[in-house]
Amino acid sequence: MMRFSRHFVRTAASTWRFAAKRCALAVAFLIVVTFAGRNSLAQANYQPSPENLKARQEFQNAKFGMFIHWGVYSVLGSGEWVFHDRALTVDEYNRLPLFFDPENFDAKTWVALAKAAGMKYITITSRHHDGFAMFDSKVSDWNIVQRTPYKKDPLKILAEECHRQGIKLFFYYSQLDWHNPNYYPRGATSWDNGRPNRGDWNLYLDDYLDGQLRELLTNYGPIGGIWFDGMWDKPDADWHLAKTYALIHELQPAALIIPNHHQSPKPGEDVQTFERDLPGQNTAGFNTTSVSNQLPLESCDTLNGSWGFNIADSKYKSPAELERRLVQAAGNNSNLLLNIGPMPNGEIQPEFVTRLQAVGEWLSNYGDSIYGTRGGPIAPGEWGVTTQKDNKIYVHILSWHAPLFAIPPIANKVVEAHSMLDASPVEFTQKSDGVVLKVPLPKSDEVDRVVVLTLAASH
Ligand code: H79
């Protein structure tokens, strides 16, 4: 009996141990499967977290952001594509960081300018297509701290200043890389720049790209999100998006993923962005015409014609053009991300500064019709757009030639109308077939005649 029971006990114990081991294995297997599944499946069934949904609302309320293209390419004053456009070799381009020493870079001035312009967030290139990290990266030495005489991390300095001044900071990140040999097979923009004809694509994505994103989402405090660019270089490649997107959402659930891939939004993405276009218009020729009715929208454009500093580009948009652009974006339910390319010495050229300050001044009068609004009830047209907030509709008349201005029917009763210019009342008649506003012709320097309609609460 004793023997039996000892034997039984031993057997039972080893059976239990075996079962426990098996069980642990099964659990481990399940965990692996669940996590692997989470990467690929969870983004497919992506449910944005409450923090993310809140961040989307805040993003939409912000309406106006500053885009900054700044890198070692700025030294040549020929835009951010100079590596490609001059078909330089990697060895040649490797010299550029040696001359990048922005002694006048002052984050306080940059952030103060964004604020003076009425911008609520900044999106800066953490690295562009040259793959050069403008931040302290341990993933490779192709970065500003290790390769330039400047030796500092400007993104760190900028992030701290943004946090101090209450501006959200987003990082632009190019998935396309003209420098790393593991960006292979190469894409549409490739040229023979001295890289070997082999490379490990998985290593590029899983170690290099995800490694740098982990740094950006860990070392700079809470960030607004990641603005991806360059996927269009290899539209059919497997970019391991589910894995990368899951990583971002895991590290910072409120960070928004904003991909500039020119396609319809994919699972895991939080904002749809349009390059040099209002949503759906595709005047640039490479954007998609399908516009999400779920995601916040953003449209980006340049203040002159260039993204990175271009010494030969004097096609500055006037303050009036910029203000109209912002109004049109808002009326299309979109943000405007307006770009400047600072100089290699860290300064922002005066032509940008004065124009941005003028837009800021305009916004100090008209901001109520932009910030916190959504696209209004009337379809945008040649004449202008509408925005709305609470019980107000802002009719932005950008072009009109008669003292009477008619708009289509509005569901709620209009109880009051006034001009934002001087708060003077605007005469109007509302009938079932539309609303007619009496608006005197514009003054010659008037950019946007904003008529504010106050609606009765619906019953
Ligand atoms: O960072 C700025 C530009 O450097 C970058 N995006 C902005 C925000 C940019 N790169 N290219 N473009 C903008 C223009 C897009 C050109 C394209 Fe094509 C036409 C992409 C796809 C078709 C050229 C031809 C590149 C691939 C094929």
Amino acid identity for residue 101 in this structure: D
pLDDT digits (tens, 9 = 90+) for 287-313: 999 999 899 999 999 999 999 999 999
Q: What is the dihedral of CA 310, 113, 135, 157, to 10 degrees?
A: 150
Q: How far is the CA of 83 from the centre of ligand 1 (A)?
A: 14
pLDDT digits (tens, 9 = 90+) for 400-426: 888 999 999 999 999 999 999 899 999
Q: Which of 229, 288, 302 to mutate to test the pocket of ligand 1 (most atoms within 8 A of CB)?
A: 229
- Whether 194 shows a pLDDT value over 60: the answer reads yes
Looking at residue 43, its pLDDT comes to 72
Q: What is the dihedral of CA 401, 404, 407, 410, to 10 degrees?
A: 160
Looking at residue 44, its pLDDT comes to 76
Looking at residue 13, its pLDDT comes to 37
CA distance 223 to 64: 17
- Whether 453 shows a pLDDT value over 60: the answer reads yes
- Whether 3 shows a pLDDT value over 80: the answer reads no
Q: What average pLDDT does this structure show over 335-340?
A: 98
Predicted TM-score (pTM) of this structure: 0.91
Q: How far is the CA of 174 from the centre of ligand 1 (A)?
A: 11
CB neighbour list of residue 439: distance below 8 Å, 6 or more residues apart: 397, 400, 403, 404, 405, 419, 426, 449, 451
CB neighbour list of residue 12: distance below 8 Å, 6 or more residues apart: none
pLDDT digits (tens, 9 = 90+) for 100-159: 999 999 999 999 999 999 999 999 999 999 999 999 999 999 999 999 999 999 999 999
| Ligand 1 atom nearest to 229, measured from its CA | 6
pLDDT digits (tens, 9 = 90+) for 11-51: 333 333 334 444 444 444 343 333 433 444 557 789 999 99
Alpha helices in 38-168 (DSSP H): 43-44, 50-62, 82-85, 90-93, 107-116, 144-147, 154-165
Looking at residue 459, its pLDDT comes to 57
Looking at residue 376, its pLDDT comes to 97
pLDDT digits (tens, 9 = 90+) for 359-398: 999 999 999 999 999 999 999 999 999 999 999 999 999 9
